[in-house]
Amino acid sequence: DTAVSQTPKYLVTQMGNDKSIKCEQNLGHDTMYWYKQDSKKFLKIMFSYNNKELIINETVPNRFSPKSPDKAHLNLHINSLELGDSAVYFCASSKYRDRGLETQYFGPGTRLLVL
């Protein structure tokens, strides 16, 4: 069984479109994350939710809006896509957000290409 799953795996779209990426975890974790990995492989945290509550909201354009309908799901909606949004987006989850003691489990990534 897949622990952290993301859909779609690949997303090719035109500039200006709105798209969503979905993430689900079946690990019973309380905390979920969205990361962006750029072409140089640098991984940067975007958002984190703990028990459906937003706890990390990094400096990302407000075109990006996360939504957590329940503990097992964290979706990412992107409005007015730009060329610079092309990247791989990873969802992750962890057991708890006790400071400093968390192993994160990553999904397979969504490869977004904006044309």
Partner 1 sequence: SQQGEEDPQALSIQEGENATMNCSYKTSINNLQWYRQNSGRGLVHLILIRSNEREKHSGRLRVTLDTSKKSSSLLITASRAADTASYFCATDEAGGFKTIFGAGTRLFVKA
Give contact residues for partner 1 (rule: CB under 8 A): 4, 35, 40-45, 48, 55-56, 90, 92, 97, 99-109
Report how far residue 25's alpha carbon sits from residue 4's, in angstroms, rounded to the nearest whole number.
Answer: 4
* Closer Cβ to partner 1, 14 or 99, answer by number: 99
Is 37 within 8 Å of 87 (Cβ atoms)?
A: yes
Angle at the Cα of 90 from the Cα atoms of 85 and 96, rounded to 5 degrees: 135
Instruction: Give the SS3 label for residue 68.
Output: strand
Q: Which of 22, 97 has the CB closer to partner 1?
A: 97
Element (H, E) at 34: strand 31-37
CB-nearer residue toward partner 1: 14 or 59? 59
Cis peptide before 69 (omega within 30 of 0): no
Closest distance of CB 113 from partner 1, Å: 14
Alpha carbon 110 to chain centroid distance? 9
C-beta of 36: minimal distance to partner 1 in Å? 11
